[in-house]
């Protein structure tokens, strides 16, 4: 809908009326010339001139109807019908009509530009960036608590930048100023910031009665820019229509149904196998013979995570998984019929998942499979611990998808260390390692070498020099020389399988000691 404030600002030089626009900032995009209508409707903007005056004395109007009259300088407007507002201008009817038509055309162009982005599977950030460019100023998207999700065009001392710079969120006071408590969830606002000359336009994005986001755009002092209220509406509509799938209402039902089931499992209201199977059998998506629990945790400020949007994107990757939110984590129960010891995430799924996880600093753990439904709670807790360990131990910060199986040795070490620290007065877990590994660690530190890493990858690759060289990006001869140096320093031959197993585990304990416990060997 067009902004009445913006329209009147364009025609300010011709405005002859005294009516205040306080509390009203919208007029319909549907336009008709005022002639012989029986009733003036609220969903239509009517344009007229002095010839229309007799009609206003007799016609009826719906509450909220709006009439703009041209060529009214020096003329007295009759009392409008009950519920109808009339604004008068001195310009010609042609000027009035062309101004409204130009605003409508601009709205159509905005819609086309934003549609191009969403048609190319554009993400929220891309859409907001485009909206900020169209607005020529700040545009921000917040979660229901006011935490920043995405922003564009911040700078130049804007009001929104000042509000968000300290904590990445709007203060409770600022939220109350923009969206007072009495307003409906899907309201639109226009707030003039006292003492700044800046105006903030806002729109809440609602899906199935639940507020998902708050969209804000800012207009500077004396701005002659575009119709920000209209652009804010247009952007919010594209967020709802294109970036949230039509199945989200079904997903909302699915999420709520599975949430209740999952909470009952985790809080042990459902304990035995039969009870859990009955509950899972009532879920919206079918339950199979085997299950994997997939956990997604967010390492940043969880208040800024758009959970509903992420769930809608996950549905594209896991269309038949029951999923929900539990204690700020996203839980997916992935079912399958045939036993499988490794979950395969194809390239297409990775291309959809990784940008989403990176954007919100999400870490996903795919658990091992099980057919024991009574162990689902344990699989979740194991996945949570895997995420904590993998986040610290991962070799690349670009990794966001992990598998319980790949970090199970570290989980075992973690459990062992916790028990060791409980039982022993001595907190030095290096007593659990083979003495050769701490010795190599000291040698590396003193001589700036990497022999312990070479030993680890050499053992990990079954003492294959070529594979070890590839893993370490070294020449095969370099690796061979370093392995011989390790043997000379430790006086160990690496042919015995149990010794290799012990040394490999000791290297992993040392990594845990240094990275997870953040301890340095004396």
DSSP code, position 512: I
Half-sphere exposure of 511 (CA within 13 A, CB side): 22
Q: Can you tell me whether residue 450 is helix, strand or coil?
A: coil
Between residues 289 and 378, the one the model is more confident about? 378
DSSP H or E run through 421: helix 408-423
Q: Quick one: average pLDDT of 337-364?
A: 84
Using CA atoms, how far residue 483 sits from 464, 470, 504, in Å, is 11, 15, 14
Say what the pLDDT of residue 97 is: 94
What are 392's two structure tokens?
């610290």
* Residue bearing the bigger pLDDT, 407 or 157: 407
- pLDDT confidence bin for 15, thresholds 50/70/90: confident
Range with lowest mean pLDDT among 131-140, 264-273, 303-312, 330-339:
303-312
- 399 or 340, which is more confident: 399
Q: How far apart are CA 495 and CA 500, in angstroms?
A: 8
239-290 pLDDT tens trace: 776 555 444 444 455 577 788 889 999 998 888 888 888 888 888 777 788 8
Place of tokens 């206003």: 56
pLDDT (tens digit, 9 = 90+) per residue, 191-200? 888 888 888 9
**CA 471/CA 478 separation, integer angstroms:** 13
pLDDT at 254: 57
CB-hemisphere CA count at 13 Å for 106? 20
Nearest alpha carbon to residue 118 among 107, 130, 108, 106: 130
Mean pLDDT over residues 427-448, rounded?
91
Terminal Cα-to-Cα distance of the chain (whole angstroms)? 70
Span 19-72, pLDDT tens digits = 566 667 778 889 999 988 889 999 999 999 999 898 888 889 998 899 999 999
Instruction: Give the CA distances from residue 304 to residues 158, 297, 338, 363, 473, in Å, rounded to whole numbers and listed in that order.
Output: 21, 13, 38, 15, 39
Average pLDDT, the chain: 86
C-alpha gyration radius of the chain: 32
C-beta of residue 349 within 8 angstroms of C-beta of residue 400: no
- CA distance to 27, 339, 448, 483, per residue, from 471 (Å): 66, 31, 20, 15
Distance (Å, whole) CA 88 – CA 96: 10
Give, in degrees to the nearest 5, the angle at Cα 364 between 394 and 259.
Answer: 150
What's the mean pLDDT in 138-160? Answer: 84
Burial class (CB in 10 A: 0-12, 13-18, 19+), 266: middle
Q: How many CB atoms lie within 10 A of CB 211?
A: 17
What is the band of 392 on the pLDDT scale with cuts at 50, 70, 90? very high
CB 511 within 8 A of CB 393: yes
Contacts with 238 (C-beta within 8 Å, 6 or more apart), sequence order: 111, 114, 115, 117, 118, 127
Look at residue 245 in the predicted model and tell me its pLDDT.
45
With a cut of 70, say whether residue 119 has pLDDT above it: no
Q: Which residues of 472-492 are buried (b: 16+ CB within 10 A; e: fewer)?
A: bebeeeebeebbeebeeebeb
In SS3 terms, 177-245 reads as HHCCCCCCCCCEEEEECCCCCCEEEEEEEEECCEEEEEEEEEECCCCCCCCHHHHHHHHHHHHHHHHCC
Task: Indicate the pLDDT class of residue 88, thresholds 50, 70 and 90.
Answer: very high
**Residue 353 to residues 211, 391, 410, 519, Cα–Cα distance (Å):** 24, 17, 25, 34
Q: Distance between CA atoms of 252 and 338, rounded to whole angstroms?
A: 29
Q: What is the pLDDT of residues 210-227, one digit of tens each?
A: 677 889 999 887 767 788
Lowest model confidence (mean pLDDT) among 276-280, 329-333, 404-408: 276-280
What letter would DSSP give residue 27? B
CB 391 within 8 A of CB 299: yes
Q: Return the closest-CA partner of residue 163 out of 136, 138, 183, 190.
A: 138
152: three-class secondary structure by DSSP: strand
User: pLDDT tens, 446-504?
Assistant: 999 999 999 999 999 999 999 999 999 999 999 999 999 999 999 998 889 999 999 99
Given phi > 0 = left and psi -120 to 50 = alpha, else beta, which region is 33?
beta
- Structure pTM? 0.58
Q: What angle do CA 259, 264, 269 make, to 5 degrees?
A: 170
């Amino acid at each position: 809908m067009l902004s009445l404030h913006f329209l009147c600002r364009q025609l300010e030089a011709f405005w002859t009326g005294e009516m205040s626009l306080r509390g009203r900032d919208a007029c319909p995009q549907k336009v008709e010339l005022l002639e012989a209508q029986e009733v003036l409707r609220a969903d239509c903007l009517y344009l007229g001139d002095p010839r229309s005056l007799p009609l206003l004395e007799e016609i009826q109007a719906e509450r909220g109807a709006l009439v703009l009259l041209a060529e009214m300088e020096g003329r007295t407007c009759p009392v409008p019908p009950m519920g109808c507002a009339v604004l008068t201008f001195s310009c010609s009817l042609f000027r009035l009509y062309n101004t409204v038509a130009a605003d409508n055309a601009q709205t159509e162009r905005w819609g086309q530009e934003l549609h191009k982005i969403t048609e190319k599977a554009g993400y929220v950030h891309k859409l907001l960036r485009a909206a900020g460019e169209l607005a020529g100023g700040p545009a921000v998207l917040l979660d229901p608590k006011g935490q920043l999700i995405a922003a564009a065009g911040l700078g130049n001392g804007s009001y929104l930048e000042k509000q968000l710079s300290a904590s990445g969120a709007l203060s409770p006071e600022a939220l109350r100023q923009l969206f007072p408590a009495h307003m409906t969830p899907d309201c639109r606002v226009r707030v003039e910031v006292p003492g700044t000359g800046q105006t903030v336009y806002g729109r809440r994005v609602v899906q199935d009665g639940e507020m998902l986001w708050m969209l804000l755009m800012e207009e500077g002092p004396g701005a002659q820019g575009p119709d920000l209220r209209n652009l804010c509406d247009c952007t919010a509509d594209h967020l709802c229509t294109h970036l949230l799938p039509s199945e989200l209402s079904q997903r909302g039902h699915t999420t709520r149904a599975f949430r209740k089931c999952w909470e009952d499992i985790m809080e042990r209201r459902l304990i035995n196998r039969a009870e859990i199977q009955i509950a899972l059998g009532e879920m919206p998506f079918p339950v199979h013979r085997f299950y994997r629990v997939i956990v997604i945790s967010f390492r940043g400020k969880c208040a800024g995570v758009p959970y509903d949007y992420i769930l809608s994107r996950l549905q594209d990757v896991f269309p038949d998984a029951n999923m929900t939110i539990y204690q700020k984590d996203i839980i997916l129960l992935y079912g399958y019929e045939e036993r499988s010891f490794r979950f395969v995430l194809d390239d297409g799924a990775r291309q959809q998942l990784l940008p989403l996880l990176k954007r919100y600093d999400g870490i996903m753990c795919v658990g091992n499979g099980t057919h024991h439904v009574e162990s689902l709670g344990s699989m979740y807790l194991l996945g949570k611990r895997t995420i904590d360990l993998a986040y610290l131990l991962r070799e690349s910060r670009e990794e966001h998808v992990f598998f319980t199986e790949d970090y199970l040795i570290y989980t075992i070490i973690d459990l062992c260390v916790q028990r060791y620290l409980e039982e022993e007065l001595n907190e030095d877990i290096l007593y659990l390692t083979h003495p050769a590994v701490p010795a190599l660690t000291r040698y590396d530190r003193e001589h700036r070498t990497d022999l312990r890493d070479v030993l680890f990858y050499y053992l990990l690759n079954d003492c294959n020099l070529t594979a070890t060289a590839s893993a370490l990006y070294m020449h095969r001869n370099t690796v061979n020389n370093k392995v011989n140096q390790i043997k000379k320093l430790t006086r160990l031959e690496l042919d015995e399988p149990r010794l290799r197993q012990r040394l490999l585990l000791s290297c992993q304990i040392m990594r845990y000691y240094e990275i997870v416990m953040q301890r340095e060997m004396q």
